[in-house]
């Protein structure tokens, strides 16, 4: 109601007629359900994130105290006395206590929680807990890894949420400043020459108000936070870019250019013979684009794949670090392949094949995506090779600690990169109100000049 009252007051303030105010109010009314729905969805996702973060923390600490999944779930249920998380935990406890499911009992028990809260870290933690209870032993190092990863994840998500709030606030301030500047310009212009009731002025003012409502709605929609779900990479698109990089180096990408240039040269000769400057200029532009395009295409594909590898590698490295708590390096590498992100899967498979052929060589680790510049990835793989070569479990545990620390750095870098991608372009919405406000002021000035010219003609 306050929003509609504000729209009516702003319309009166700008001198809009009742029909235009009604049109703007109707537009706002049509958008209001979507704005309310976005706000509610954002609040629900924030609550789901908080529930998931608290659940993970309690499960890991309880399992550290008593390494039993049932006990950990019962402790977690006390943290959530009500709500959908409480119901999901109680369902899991019931399945375990009554053994109502066939197959892996714990996986089936966790299924309800994983369905309600779709989160990679949740699934990863559940898989670790199941494995730890089945195998037994000391998993304190792995628990520390998961707890630290959860802590850093929570900090990054809250930082992203604050950035979203700041952008939303800046959009609102920009809309207010734009509205204020437009009104000040109307006050400064002589009232006797203003044409506020002119149809063009009325239409532009109504359009300006509608644009402000649209900007606010679009900002709310774009800034709606995905608190739990990570952006899924488009596998088909990545496959296409990956295959392009593998099969087309700079020379390969440019191999068809000479033939195209020959055809264009013949066309240019024909254009000269016809004495057509326009055709000659057009053909010259096309020739330059054809010459430059393979290099541009190659750089774009390379940039995309590097970004995807930077995002995917820390996820795989986290799985590998957890596997190496109980497996040797070779077995951990083989088991990690099944869940490796697509952009890494083929190269990891090739690396494992090379290791089988040359088990004592560092070359397979150094030959990972050699056509990309990946210093952090190469550094981590060299560390994995040193663990492979060491063999001693005590030395390996020290090196795993170093690997985990490196992975937290890579994970932080990757998720901050994803956060930047999610905010890309949204900041431009802050500038749009100034553009729309300028259009309104230019219209008012134009109508003022027309009015002055008409008065001047009448005096003559």
Q: Which of 416, 37, 10, 62 is nearest to 210 (CA)?
A: 10
What are the tens digits of pLDDT across the range 32-89? 888 888 888 888 888 889 999 999 999 999 998 888 999 999 999 999 988 889 999 9
Is residue 248 within 8 A of residue 298, CB to CB? The reply is yes
Q: Where are the domains of the chain?
A: 2-225, 235-305, 306-423
pTM given for the model: 0.75
Q: Say how many C-beta atoms besides its own lie within 10 A of residue 436's C-beta.
A: 21
Half-sphere CA count of 328, side-chain side, radius 13 A: 6
Q: How many helices and strands, by DSSP H and E, does the chain display?
A: 18, 0
Chain position carrying tokens 């600490």: 61
Per run of 10 residues, the mean pLDDT along the chain (length 460 residues) is 71 81 87 84 87 93 90 91 90 83 77 87 88 79 86 87 88 89 78 70 86 87 71 66 70 51 58 58 62 71 82 84 81 85 85 86 84 81 80 66 78 77 76 87 80 65
Is residue 92 within 8 A of residue 110, CB to CB? The reply is yes
Q: What is the CA radius of gyration of the chain?
A: 31
Q: Which of 204, 193, 137, 154 is nearest to 54 (CA)?
A: 154
What are the tens digits of pLDDT across the range 439-458? 888 887 887 777 777 766 65
Longest dimension (CA), the chain: 103
The pLDDT assigned to 54 comes to 93
Three-state secondary-structure class, residue 230: coil
Residues in the chain: 460
**Rounded distance between C-alpha atoms, residue 399 and residue 325, angstroms:** 12
Q: Counting Cβ atoms within 10 Å, is residue 280 exposed (0-12), middle (13-18) or buried (19+)?
A: middle
Structure token digits, residue 441: 């002021």
């Amino acid at each position: 109601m306050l929003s509609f009252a504000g729209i009516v007051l702003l319309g009166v303030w700008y001198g809009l007629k009742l029909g235009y105010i009604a049109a703007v109010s109707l537009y706002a009314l049509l958008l209001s359900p979507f704005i309310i729905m976005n706000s509610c969805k954002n609040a629900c996702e924030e609550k789901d994130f908080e529930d998931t973060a608290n659940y993970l923390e309690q499960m890991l600490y309880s399992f550290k105290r008593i390494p039993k999944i049932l006990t950990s779930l019962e402790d977690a249920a006390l943290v959530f006395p009500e709500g959908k998380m409480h119901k999901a935990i109680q369902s899991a406890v019931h399945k375990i206590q009554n053994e109502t499911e066939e197959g892996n009992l714990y996986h089936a028990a966790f299924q309800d929680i994983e369905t309600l809260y779709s989160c990679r870290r949740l699934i990863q933690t559940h898989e670790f807990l199941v494995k730890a209870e089945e195998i037994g032993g000391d998993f304190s190092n792995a628990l520390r890894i998961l707890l630290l990863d959860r802590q850093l994840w929570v900090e990054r998500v809250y930082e992203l949420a604050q950035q979203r709030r700041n952008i939303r606030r800046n959009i609102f301030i920009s809309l207010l400043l734009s509205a204020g500047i437009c009104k000040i310009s109307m006050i400064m212009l002589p009232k006797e020459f203003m044409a506020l009731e002119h149809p063009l002025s009325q239409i532009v003012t109504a359009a300006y108000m509608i644009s402000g409502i649209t900007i606010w709605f679009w900002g709310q929609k774009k800034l709606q936070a995905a608190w739990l779900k990570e952006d899924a990479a488009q596998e088909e698109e990545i496959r296409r870019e990956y295959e392009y990089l593998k099969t087309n180096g700079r020379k390969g990408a440019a191999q068809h250019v000479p033939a195209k240039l020959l055809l264009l040269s013949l066309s240019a000769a024909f254009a000269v013979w016809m004495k057509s400057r326009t055709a000659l200029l057009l053909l010259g532009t096309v020739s330059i684009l054809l010459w430059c395009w393979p290099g541009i295409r190659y750089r774009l594909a390379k940039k995309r794949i590097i970004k995807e590898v930077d995002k995917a590698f820390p996820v795989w490295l986290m799985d590998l670090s957890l596997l190496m708590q109980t497996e040797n390096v070779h077995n951990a590498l083989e088991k990690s392949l099944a869940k490796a992100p697509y952009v890494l899967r083929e190269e990891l498979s090739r690396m494992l094949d090379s290791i089988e052929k040359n088990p004592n060589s560092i070359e397979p680790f150094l030959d990972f995506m050699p056509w990309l510049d990946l210093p952090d990835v190469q550094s981590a793989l060299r560390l994995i090779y040193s663990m492979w070569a060491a063999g001693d479990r005590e030395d390996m545990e020290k090196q795993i600690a170093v690997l985990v620390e490196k992975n937290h750095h890579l994970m932080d870098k990757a998720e901050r990169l994803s956060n930047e991608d999610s905010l890309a372009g949204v900041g431009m919405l802050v500038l749009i109100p100034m553009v729309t406000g300028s259009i309104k002021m230019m219209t008012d000035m134009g109508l003022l000049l027309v009015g002055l010219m008409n008065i001047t003609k009448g005096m003559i």
